[in-house]
Structures are given as structure tokens and as C-alpha cells.
Amino acid sequence: MNCDKPRENLVAAELKRRAGAQNLDVFDEDFAALLDDEDELRSFREKFAYPRKETLPEIGQNLPAEELAEECIYLCGNSLGLKPKSADAHMQAQLQKWADMGVYMHFEEPLPAATCDRYGREALGRIVGAEPSSVTLMNGLTVNLHLLLCSFYQPAGDRYKILIEGGAFPSDRYAMLSQIELRGYDPEEALIQIQPRAGEDLIRIEDIMEILKEEGPSIAVVCLSGVQYYTGQKFDMERITWAAHAEGCVVGWDLAHAVGNVEIRLDEWGVDFACWCTYKYLNSGPGCIAGAYVNKKHAGRSSKSQLRGWWSNKEDTRFLMQEHCDVAPGVDGFRLCNPPPFLVALVIASLEIFDEAGMEKIIRKQRLLTGYLEHLLLTYFNTESSSNSKPFARIITPDDPAQRGCQLSLSFSLPIGRVHAELGKRGIVCDVRQPNVMRIAPAPLYNSYSDVHKFVTSLKDVFDKLAAETPLREG
Ligand SMILES: *Cc1c(COP(=O)(O)O)cnc(C)c1O
């Protein structure tokens, strides 16, 4: 559903109740400050390096000096999470170990290089709802998607198709297309991309169910995003997994925008495989080592379809340098290379923060923080194109908190590039995705309610400025 009208929801009701109890209005700056005071995660912001306005490349040079020295408003954790301050020490420890002992660093604590990919498992498992032995750190997201598909995409007979969502992240689509072509199938026929209905932005769950019923017997793999990068729509992973399994399909999830953002219970849902990057909500730094999951029910299956490297070996045969690879069961057997402790150190720095906060608190704050953003937007902005000629902002992300995470995707009647540039000059960091959305993602670990309040007032400011410039051009 598109939210074209302010709608009374539970979050809005809670906001009104809490504001009312203090004789404040929900839109008051003081109310944002109050929410910050009462925020059980407020101290976590201190754990992150928060960029200042003056060090951002697109900052307006005419901002007053005291404003330049302020922290920016960072709402781009959907793209690249902020750096944990502890990352330096974790990385430095590995560099120092390398300096101090060279090759001995392979087996010396902290984070012995030879086994460092095992170290984040417990914490990662807690975030994706998996036994530690079913998850690993390795490679990057797209590489892992390929490695997993090489094994889990086994087209045969009438069952050879892959189902993804329409408008999927291009890298995922390219991966699927190349896997289909590698196996000698025609992507035109073998790749099903489920689309929103005409005139709608979101994919309806009933349409996914319908496709599974109609096409199920011809689908080998269902692999959607847990949270869609463009619309911010969160899919009902449990229900889709269950329905696809009932049709005999293998089910994988791309959790790039879901991990560290929404509740995930891979083991309980019976998901076959999953992969994710760690640099978005998991804050491990650009291109950092990624995560992968294989359900332990696959531990006994043949490894013939898996691509192998020396790291695919069981640990006790890895260094025997034998002729044949003695493939480790489950996700461990998908590893090919020795892992980089420098990158793992960055992931560990981030996972320590997640463990200290706990996903439950993170998700609780996420619902209120994004609900607050939504509430302010719906109140301050015209959300209809028809009512009058005033410019409008529209939220395309679902209005149901259970169907989204941090991110709201906005589209505007004003040229989106201009809106983005004006926000950038004011020290607001967010991103634009082609063709027409601005993604705003307040992250519970380091964003405050005041950040959201400042963003909305700045957006209003930008709207007033651009609306005053005539004629308005669509862009
Ligand atoms: C961010 C993202 C990627 C990026 O892939 P890399 O291999 O890490 O470069 C891929 N797919 C989705 C859905 C993403 O959100």
C-alpha cells in the first residue's frame, strides 16, 4: 500500500501519548529531545565516528563556522554504516601482530588469521537467527551469491527457473542471469521477476503466493531480498519460504538490507541459504568481508556441485595438502580462500556493538524512530499530487511497521537531484537511487530523534526554497 494519507497507527498513537504527557506537541523540537533522553540506546551514538559537516565534500561553504563544526545528519546507514570508533584498535592489533610475528600471526590470539572467519559466528548467528556453525564470513556478497547458486541452483527437467523480485538490486539480477546462462538456459524464460501491479510501487504478498502456486513446479530457486533496497519493503520471509518449500523450490534470501535491521530467524524458517554484506547496517566498512548461511539440513548433501578451494576442506585435512579436497559439511565447505583478519577485525568491532545493544532493543527503537520520521513527513508534507499545485513528497515504503525496517523511500514532485543537492549543502547525508527515490534510513545505533527532526525541518526548508523558484521542472 502507498501511504497517501496520514493514518492513525500504533506508533503515531504512542508518540502522541508521550508528547501529551509532557504537554508537548509531537512536532516540537523539545519532544525530539525528550525522546532522545528516554532512548535506551542513546549512549551507543558515542561508539561511532560521526562525520562533521565541515569534512563532507558537498557541504555549503557559506554555513556559519559553528554550524560547520557540528555533526552532520547521517541518514545513509542503508548504504554505508558509520565507523565504530573501536575499529581502529581492532585493525591496529592485527597490523601489529603482522609486524611483530609475521607468519606466526596465523595461529596467535587475538583473532588467529588461520581461523579468524570462525570468530564472528556466534554474534552473527544471533543477528540472523542461526546456529553459529551455519554461518561464516567470506568474500563479498555477489561472490557468495554465485558460490551458493552454483550449488543450490540445480535446474533439471521442468524445474529450471529462478524467481526474484522485479527491480532487484542489479548485482543480484546479473548474478541470476549469468547463472541461468551458464547452465544453458534462456534468461527470458528462466528468470521470473515478480512486479508490482500497474500503478503500484510495492509487491503484494498475494501476488507472490499466486506466482508460487502457478509457476512453483517450474521454479528451482526462489531468491528475493529480505528488505528491498529501492522501496524499503520488507517481505514476509517466513511465509514466502514456507510457500516456496511447499512447491518444492529451494529458498535463498539476500539479506543485504535486512541484516542488523529487521528480525531474521533463518533456522526457524527453514531457509536453505542466505547471504549478506556487512557494510550497510552492520557498519563494517566499504566492501568488507560478507556473510553466508547454509541450513544445517544440507550438511549431508553431496558436495559435487560446490566450487572448491583449500579452505573448503575440513579443518583437520586442510593443511595436509592432499590431492582431493575433503569438503567440510554445510557452509564451511563453501569457503575457498584463507580469510583476511584485517577485514574480520572490522566486522568483530561492529558485532561487539550489536551484542552489547541486542537486536531486540535495536528493532524496538527502529520502529519508533522510523515511525516518528513517517509521522513528521506525513504531517508536514503534501502527500497528494492532485489536491493542489503545491509540491509533494510521497513515501513509497509500506506504512505497516512489520513490512519495513529503518528506511523510508521518498519521491518528490520537485526535481529529486535538486532536493538532494540542497540537503547535502545543509549537512544532511542521504542517497538517491535511480529513477526516483531518496532513501532515508535513521539507524537506531547512532541516529537520534533530533536527527530526524532536523532532517524534516531541513527538507521543509528546501521545499520552500525550490517551490519559490519558478518555473518548477520535473527531473
Ligand atoms: C548492497 C547490495 C549488493 C552489493 O553487492 P556487493 O557484492 O557487496 O558489491 C548486492 N545486492 C544487494 C541486494 C545489495 O543491497
Whether ligand 1 lies within 6 angstroms of the CB of 254 is answered as: yes
Q: 169 C-alpha to center of ligand 1: Å?
A: 7
- Chosen domain end from 355, 378, 412: 355
Mutate to test the pocket of ligand 1, among 138, 171, 230, 347 (most ligand atoms within 8 A of CB): 171
Q: 55 C-alpha to center of ligand 1: Å?
A: 27
Do 293 and 386 fall into the same domain? Answer: no
Q: 279 C-alpha to center of ligand 1: Å?
A: 10
Q: 131 C-alpha to center of ligand 1: Å?
A: 24
Asked if residue 253 has pLDDT above 80, the reply is yes
What residue owns the CA closest to ligand 1's atom 14? 256
Do 240 and 311 fall into the same domain? Answer: yes
Give first-to-last CA distance, the chain, whole Å.
25
Mutate to test the pocket of ligand 1, among 178, 277, 281 (most ligand atoms within 8 A of CB): 277
Compute φ and ψ for 471, nearest 5 degrees.
-85, 155
| CATH number, domain containing residue 258 | 3.40.640.10
Taking residues 296-310, report their average pLDDT: 90
- DSSP bridge pairs for 194: 165
Q: 255 C-alpha to center of ligand 1: Å?
A: 9
Asked if residue 385 has pLDDT above 90, the reply is no
DSSP string, 323-376: SS--BPSGGGGG--S---HHHHHHHHHHHHHHHHH-HHHHHHHHHHHHHHHHHH
Lowest mean pLDDT among 34-43, 96-105, 245-254, 377-386: 377-386
CA-nearest of 439, 426, 428, 399 to 169 is: 439
Enter the C-alpha cell of residue 205.
Answer: 504478498
Q: What pLDDT band is residue 386 in, cutting at 50, 70 and 90?
A: low
Asked if residue 76 has pLDDT above 70, the reply is yes
Q: 208 C-alpha to center of ligand 1: Å?
A: 23
Q: 91 C-alpha to center of ligand 1: Å?
A: 24
Enter the C-alpha cell of residue 285.
Answer: 566498512
Enter the C-alpha cell of residue 301.
Answer: 548433501
Whether ligand 1 lies within 6 angstroms of the CB of 224 is answered as: no
Q: What pLDDT score was predicted for residue 58?
A: 83
Kindly give the pairing relationship between strand 250-254 and strand 219-225. parallel
pLDDT, greater one: 469 or 268: 268
- Chosen domain end from 355, 383, 398: 355
- Chosen domain end from 313, 334, 355: 355
Q: Is residue 474 part of a domain?
A: no
Taking residues 369-397, report their average pLDDT: 85
Q: What pLDDT score was predicted for residue 1?
A: 41
- How far CA 457 is from CA of 2, 178, 463, in Å, comes to 23, 45, 10
Residue that the C-alpha cell 506508533 belongs to: 11
Asked if residue 132 has pLDDT above 50, the reply is yes
Q: What pLDDT band is residue 469 in, cutting at 50, 70 and 90?
A: confident
Residue type, 190: A
Q: What pLDDT band is residue 387 in, cutting at 50, 70 and 90?
A: low
Do 37 and 114 fall into the same domain? Answer: no
- Residue 310 among known ligand-binding residues: yes
Do 10 and 60 fall into the same domain? Answer: yes
Mutate to test the pocket of ligand 1, among 172, 193, 431, 437 (most ligand atoms within 8 A of CB): 172
- DSSP reduced 3-state for 400: coil
Give the nearest ligand 1 atom to 172 CA.
11
Q: Is residue 79 part of a domain?
A: no
Sign of CA dihedral 87, 454, 78, 266: positive
Range of the domain at 452: 5-71+360-467
Enter the C-alpha cell of residue 124.
Answer: 552473527
In sequence order, which residues have a C-beta less than 8 Å from that of residue 277 and are 6 or more positions away? 140, 141, 256, 288, 290, 291
Q: What pLDDT band is residue 2 in, cutting at 50, 70 and 90?
A: very low
Asked if residue 120 has pLDDT above 80, the reply is yes
| CATH number, domain containing residue 434 | 3.90.1150.10
Do 260 and 315 fall into the same domain? Answer: yes
Q: 171 C-alpha to center of ligand 1: Å?
A: 6
What residue owns the CA closest to ligand 1's atom 10? 171
DSSP string, 121-143: HHHHHHHHT--GGGEEEES-HHH
- Residue 172 among known ligand-binding residues: yes
Do 274 and 219 fall into the same domain? Answer: yes
Q: Please give the share of the chain, as a percent, with pLDDT higher than 90.
A: 88
- How far CA 320 is from CA of 115, 164, 258, 316, 340, in Å, comes to 16, 41, 39, 8, 21
| CA–CA distance, 282 with 288 (Å, rounded to integer) | 10
**Average pLDDT score, the chain:** 94
Q: Is residue 252 part of a domain?
A: yes
Do 349 and 365 fall into the same domain? Answer: no
Q: What pLDDT score was predicted for residue 475?
A: 42
Peptide bond before residue 401 is cis, with ω within 30 degrees of 0 = no
The pTM of this model reads 0.95
Do 224 and 93 fall into the same domain? Answer: yes
Q: Is residue 475 part of a domain?
A: no
| CA–CA distance, 453 with 376 (Å, rounded to integer) | 8
Q: Is residue 434 part of a domain?
A: yes
Lowest mean pLDDT among 19-23, 321-325, 357-361, 380-384: 380-384
Q: 340 C-alpha to center of ligand 1: Å?
A: 20
Kindly give the pairing relationship between strand 437-440 and strand 408-412. antiparallel
- DSSP reduced 3-state for 179: helix
What residue owns the CA closest to ligand 1's atom 4? 141
Q: Is residue 180 part of a domain?
A: yes
Q: What pLDDT score was predicted for residue 470?
A: 59
Give the nearest ligand 1 atom to 145 CA.
7
Asked if residue 402 has pLDDT above 80, the reply is yes
Do 19 and 162 fall into the same domain? Answer: no
Mutate to test the pocket of ligand 1, among 169, 275, 437 (most ligand atoms within 8 A of CB): 169
Q: 142 C-alpha to center of ligand 1: Å?
A: 6
- Residue 144 among known ligand-binding residues: no
Do 325 and 386 fall into the same domain? Answer: no
Do 350 and 420 fall into the same domain? Answer: no
Q: What pLDDT score was predicted for residue 13?
A: 92
Q: Is 438 within 8 Å of 432 (Cβ atoms)?
A: yes
Do 171 and 67 fall into the same domain? Answer: no
Residue that the C-alpha cell 529513477 belongs to: 435
What residue owns the CA closest to ligand 1's atom 13? 169
Q: What pLDDT score was predicted for residue 443?
A: 98
The structural domain count of the chain equals: 2
Q: What pLDDT score was predicted for residue 5?
A: 45
Q: Is residue 472 part of a domain?
A: no
Q: Please give the share of the chain, as a percent, with pLDDT higher than 70.
A: 96
Q: What pLDDT band is residue 100 in, cutting at 50, 70 and 90?
A: very high
Query: Where does residue 74 rank: exposed (0-12), middle (13-18), buried (19+ CB within 10 A)?
Result: buried
Taking residues 410-434, report their average pLDDT: 94
Q: What pLDDT score was predicted for residue 6?
A: 43
HSE, side-chain direction, 13 A CA sphere, residue 400:
9
Mutate to test the pocket of ligand 1, among 80, 139, 141, 437 (most ligand atoms within 8 A of CB): 141
pLDDT in tens, 190-239: 999 999 999 999 999 999 999 999 999 999 999 999 999 999 999 999 99
Give the nearest ligand 1 atom to 280 CA.
1
Sign of CA dihedral 86, 91, 95, 100: positive
Q: Is 288 within 8 Å of 348 (Cβ atoms)?
A: no
Looking at the chain, how many residues does it have?
475
Taking residues 259-270, report their average pLDDT: 98
Q: Is residue 192 part of a domain?
A: yes
Enter the C-alpha cell of residue 129.
Answer: 537467527
- Residue 117 among known ligand-binding residues: no
Taking residues 78-102, report their average pLDDT: 98
Taking residues 340-362, report their average pLDDT: 98
